[in-house]
Amino acid sequence: MVVWSMEPPHAHIYGGRRQTVRAYTGCRLPAAGCGTGLPQWTRRENLRFSGATSQRNRARADIRRRGTVSRVEMASSQCCDNPPALNPAGGEGKVVDSFGGLKAYLAGSEESKAAVILVSDVFGFESPNLRKIADKVALSGYYVVVPDFLHGDPYVPDNAERPLPVWRKLHDPKKRFEEAKPVIAALKEKGVSSVGAAGYCWGGVVVVELAKAPEIQAGVVLHPGPITVDDIKEVKCPISILGAEIDHISPPEVIKQFEQVLSANSGSVAYSVKIFPGVAHGWSVRYSPDDAAAVKSAEEALGDMIDWFNKYLK
């Protein structure tokens, strides 16, 4: 597993299948072992390797099967692999008709001073796994809001009249940034003092826009959607980017470019960039609960997210 971080070399790396890998942790602020605070890189061996072998094999087989299919087509397909069976009544929290002007799923104590906004992928806020994630984040002491940024109109793969490119034109994630501001305002009216946001694929674009403003105190982006290097250059709050090894939308080489931009930002923005081996785009929220290896990788990503928020929101 490869990890880049603007934190000292003791940053956590979680485990799974045993295999020797190398982890890299970058340090740009003066800290133990960092001397003057100039860029230094340390290498260490870690004998634990996370990843779902079966998922890796399925993804690679899919790539081989596609043959000469264009990268754009592969990316579009991967964006929509493993669509969830939506459940409007799912989760242990509650759904309200309006939170900051949007229908939303809420979980956790309203007395909490720290809140997390979860932004869905193209399948929307009724995804069962997304609501499970919201419930688990709430158990860590956060008030969690999952707004319906898609306004009851999630992407439907079987709708031949509205393929993904057409659907995207109707749901530009960068325009949802403005809709997120009243949600944050509603949280502050409840006494929340720190707000974080995490987004999956499509939702990651919304989170980056919030981090550029900055409207949030910390952000997490999981298997990023169409985010550019220029977007990352403008990030102004601590950000964690969790990418997949097998990803046609934001492949590892693009994730590495994000890391390079963040590391060059004079140490003014804390960051962590991590590539999960053996998993494909969407692994952290569209996993099958019957696939133990996939669940393990998704739980690792969730653990990383919660750790990031614990560090910068509490």
Residues labelled as active-site residues: 201, 247, 281
Beta strands in the chain (DSSP E): 2-5, 21-27, 40-46, 94-99, 102-107, 114-119, 143-147, 194-200, 218-222, 239-246, 271-280
The C-alpha angle 208, 214, 217, rounded to 5 degrees, equals: 90
Q: How many CB atoms lie within 10 A of CB 241?
A: 26
Cβ-count burial of 189 within 10 angstroms (0-12 exposed, 13-18 middle, 19+ buried)? exposed
CB 291 within 8 A of CB 54: yes
Which amino acid is it at 150? L
What value does the CA radius of gyration of the chain take, rounded to a whole number of Å?
19
**Rounded to whole angstroms, how far apart are CA atoms 208 and 273?**
14
- What distance lies between CA 125 and its chain's CA centroid? 15
**Is the Cα dihedral 287, 207, 243, 229 positive or negative?**
positive
The answer, yes or no, to whether the previous bond of 8 is cis (omega within 30 of 0) is no
CB 148 within 8 A of CB 124: yes
**Rounded to whole angstroms, how far apart are CA atoms 174 and 204?**
10
